[in-house]
Amino acid sequence: MAAAIKKNKILTISRIFRLYKMAPNTYSTFLFILIAIGLCFADDGLHEMEEFLKRELSLSKPYQGVGSSSSSHWELMGDAMVTSEQVRLTTDMQSKQGAVWSRIPCHLRDWELQVHFKIHGQGKKNLNGDGLAIWYTKERMQKGPVFGNQDLFTGLGVFLDTYPNEEKHLEAQKTRYTSRTQRIFPYVLAMVGNGSISYDHERDGRSTELGGCNAMVRNLKHDTFLFIRYVRRRLTIMIDIDGQHEWRDCLDIPGVRLPQGYYFGASAITGELSDNHDVISLKVYQLTVLRSEAEENEEGEEITVPSVDNMDLLRMGENEEGWSPIAIFFSIVFSMLGFFLLIVVGLIVYSHWNENRRKRFY
């Protein structure tokens, strides 16, 4: 894992650099340099970290009592069913939705969730849907439109979206993306909700996206994993889908504020298009992280509502067409300079003309 995290720092720098290339103005140059320097000097403190499997928060074979016993730590909902091999949230049939939820709130401060999943079905590429979601939320066991869970949720949602609704919608209107803003599906995306933020299904959650990555996860022979880590308010998502037992970076964001005592869960939905959405295991690890006194003070106050720091900075990539305040400032300064130059040139020309006229007169 240590190597994976080191790689992560480089990923973050390259991600910011990509943003910088998309919007190369003074403001983003400054930000890029600032963040790059900050990252180089930041200490991951990885050597201080230990992980410990929390069995009562985890779901794994042989799924003892799941779906049959009320004393089980996990509860099924909707069309979900359990077999000896997996918890199948939906079968490869239209209009299904299912979920599995932990009954025990998670009070860990730093944690890691390893998701072993499988998405497979008869449909050809882009003729399947809709996807699988992993949750850490205040609410549990609610039916709804967001991958089978309720909208306006409170907490973290990580979506494995297998159907590009927005792209299909644009295709129908015969318009296209600029290549900068197109996402390749299946797409993994993270969103933090505070109870009043809606997931926009028609745009595949673009307006509330914290970040994400492409992940070709359908109909694979080998095992596929998703990994969500939450340490020191930093959210990191990695995927292992190539059958090489290697974690690939997907997303890494500091300043994600998630309260303790929320529930882990997984849900899935099918519509006109379908897939089997299977969860094989959800393993929760407690991470022991040593904090300096300064860090302890900084993270001291208890979080009551989920939120993400610097959401506007994360959104910078999307609003690249817009002008940042600094860019507007500089363009005003330069246009004023240009204006004065014009006046000066105008005055010189006028005085020359005046002189010539005077010469003619006398």
User: Interface residues with Ca ion (CB under 5 A)?
Assistant: 161, 163, 165, 204
Question: Radius of gyration (Cα) for the chain, nearest Å?
Answer: 26
The CA-to-CA distance between both ends of the chain, in Å, stands at: 91
- Which residue lies nearer to Ca ion by CB, 165 or 208? 165
Give Dmax (Cα) for the chain. Answer: 113
> What DSSP string describes 20-72?
HHHS-SHHHHHHHHHHHHHHHH----GGG-EEEE-GGG-B-TT-TTTTT-TTS
244 binds ligand NAG (CB under 6 A): no
Minimum CB distance to Ca ion, residue 193 (Å): 17
Quick check: helix, strand or coil at residue 48? helix
Give the nearest distance from C-beta 269 to Ca ion in angstroms. Answer: 10
> Which partner from the list ligand NAG, Ca ion, none does 196 bind, CB cut-off 5 to 8 Å by kind?
ligand NAG
Between 265 and 306, CB nearer to ligand NAG: 306
Q: Long-range contacts: 313-317, Cβ < 8 Å, 24+?
A: 313/31, 314/210, 314/211, 314/253, 316/19, 316/23, 316/28, 317/18, 317/19, 317/22, 317/23
Least CB distance from residue 53 to ligand NAG, whole Å? 34
Q: Which of residues 256-285 bind ligand NAG (CB under 6 A)?
A: none
Name the residue nearer to ligand NAG (CB basis): 179 or 304: 304
Distance CA(146)–CA(276), nearest Å, equals: 17
Q: How far is CA 219 from the centre of its chain?
A: 23
Count of residues making up the chain: 362
Residues 295-324 that bind ligand NAG (CB under 6 A): 305
Write down the least CB distance from residue 174 to Ca ion, Å: 20
Q: Which one of 1-9, 21-29, 158-166, 191-199 is the stretch in contact with ligand NAG (CB under 6 A)?
A: 191-199
Nearer CB in complex with ligand NAG: 65/195: 195
* 196 binds ligand NAG, rule: CB under 6 A: yes
Residue 126: contacted member of ligand NAG, Ca ion, none (CB under 5 to 8 Å, by partner type): none
* Ramachandran angles phi, psi of 228, nearest 5°: -120, 120
Segment near ligand NAG (CB under 6 A); pick from 35-43, 77-85, 144-152, 195-203: 195-203
Q: Are 158 and 228 within 8 A, CB to CB?
A: yes
- Contact between 22 and ligand NAG by CB under 6 A: the answer reads no
Binding site for ligand NAG (CB under 6 A): 194-197, 305
